[in-house]
Structure 1
Amino acid sequence: MKRDGKASSIWERSRQLASQEIVDTAVRLFTTQGYDETTTEQIAQEVGLSQRTLFRYFGTKEDLICGDQDALGALFKKTVEEQPLDMSPWDALKVGFTSLVAGTQSPEHMLKISTLIFRTPALRARYEEKRIRWQYDLMPVIRERLRAAGREGPVADHEARTIIAVTFACTDAATGSWIASEGCEDLTALYERALDIIRTAP
């Protein structure tokens, strides 16, 4: 049965609310009980769903926490693409990172999610898998920016890979330090500090 625009909008909002309730419940249980000790069946029961219905929202247990990484990756890429071509790749990627920090939920929620990901091997593995895809998707964007600056061919490819890899290493270093500070330090400032360390290293 076809949905008209209004019905479709209501359905989508309802789905988003249900998804958020599932995520909030999963975060609470993972934080209080531990990731491995919490089952998807328990999460489903907490929100009043069957386990089968739960998996219609999230394909895997890991995606309860890491599922929005695809949307964040698309936002990152779009933001970098929108920057002027005369902006350096480093600065364009910095704007992309800043947009993620500003565009996510509250710092408190982000800290809980980041802590779970960085301290849970299964979640960290899923997170890394998605981040590798981010880096792959960013390659043509950064390559185009380098070509606009006069770099071509294998040189541009190698430089693009290096810049992207270093940027992601700095984001992970910054996030790790932010988690260690229990959210007291500024995440963007930590990222900028990490970049400065790379640029000024002897």
Structure 2
Amino acid sequence: MDDERLWTRTRRAVYDEITRTAMELFLEQGFEQTTIDQISAAAGISRRSFFRYFGTKEDIVLGDLASQGVLVQRSLEAVPLSVPPWEALEQALWQVADLNGDLDAARKVAVMMYGTPSLRARSIEKHLHWQELLVPNIQRRLEAAGGDPLDPAAAAIVASAIACLDIAGQAWLREPGSDLRQLYRRATRAVRG
């Protein structure tokens, strides 16, 4: 048991070191200009070792996005079913956002993501995974309120909420000093209106 915990801690430390090193290179040189060989050399690992931790360069930047989807799902499950879908999603999203709290780091990653087509595509792929995780809960909320289990409303609500989050993120980058939560609320009001 102790050996397993040590291995897990060691693996996590190496993962974190590769991520930190890569992010420094991305911010210094640009995402597309930074190679896997450069990341491996700077982190002191082989190219082969790099691929034990990451499937692609994009996974370094967006790796946490997939795990955040699971956190949003857990947060959503904790919101009582009596809370309407849009409000429940907002509560779950911001609870997870509060855990990550570093807005400067989030802004740097967002600038990189929105400015790099391969990262943008990968983030959309990860958000599609979020939809799969969140739709069942929203479906239960709608059914509890008398909704039809075959109605596509749950999928539409989740997809719209994620799109609103994405649009709010883009606006947040364009408007220095803006509040991401307020931008999200404005986006959802426009969709729900």
Band of TM-score, shorter chain:
over 0.9
Corresponding residue to 1:101 among 89, 93, 97: 97
Q: 2:33 aligned with 1:37, yes or no? A: yes
CA contact (8 A) 1:62 1:122 kept: yes
Q: 2:144 aligned with 1:148, yes or no? A: yes
Pairwise CA distance, 1:48:
0.6
Corresponding residue to 1:174 among 159, 168, 171: 168
1:40-89 deviations in whole A, cap 9, x for unaligned?
Answer: 01001101111111111111111111112221110111111111010000
C-alpha distance in 1 between matches for 2:175 and 2:24: 21
C-alpha distance in 1 between matches for 2:192 and 2:157: 12
CA contact (8 A) 2:79 2:88 kept: yes
Using the size of structure 1 for normalisation, the TM-score is 0.89
Q: Which consecutive residues of structure 1, in runs of 5 or more, have no partner in the other structure? A: none
Supply the AA of the counterpart residue of 2:164: C
Pairwise CA distance, 1:189:
2.0
Pairwise CA distance, 1:100:
2.5
Supply the AA of the counterpart residue of 1:78: R
Deviates more, 1:168-177 or 1:21-30: 21-30
Pairwise CA distance, 1:141:
1.3
CA contact (8 A) 1:101 1:188 kept: no
Supply the AA of the counterpart residue of 1:81: E
Q: Give runs of aligned pairs for residues 125-140 of structure 1, distance below 5 A.
A: 125-140=121-136
C-alpha RMSD over aligned residues: 1.5
Deviates more, 1:104-113 or 1:41-50: 104-113
Using the size of structure 2 for normalisation, the TM-score is 0.93
Q: Which consecutive residues of structure 2, in runs of 5 or more, have no partner in the other structure? A: none
Pairwise CA distance, 1:13:
2.2
C-alpha distance in 2 between matches for 1:199 and 1:145: 17
C-alpha distance in 2 between matches for 1:102 and 1:74: 15
1:125-171 deviations in whole A, cap 9, x for unaligned?
Answer: 1111111111122221111111011112322xx11122112101110
Match of 1:121 in 2: 117
Deviates more, 1:132-141 or 1:86-95: 132-141
Runs of 4+ in structure 1 displaced over 3 angstroms?
A: none
Deviates more, 1:117-126 or 1:146-155: 146-155
User: How many residue pairs were aligned?
Assistant: 193
C-alpha distance in 2 between matches for 1:7 and 1:111: 38
> Which SS does the other structure have where 2:126 is aligned?
helix
- The sequence identity of aligned pairs, in percent, is 37
Q: 2:22 aligned with 1:26, yes or no? A: yes
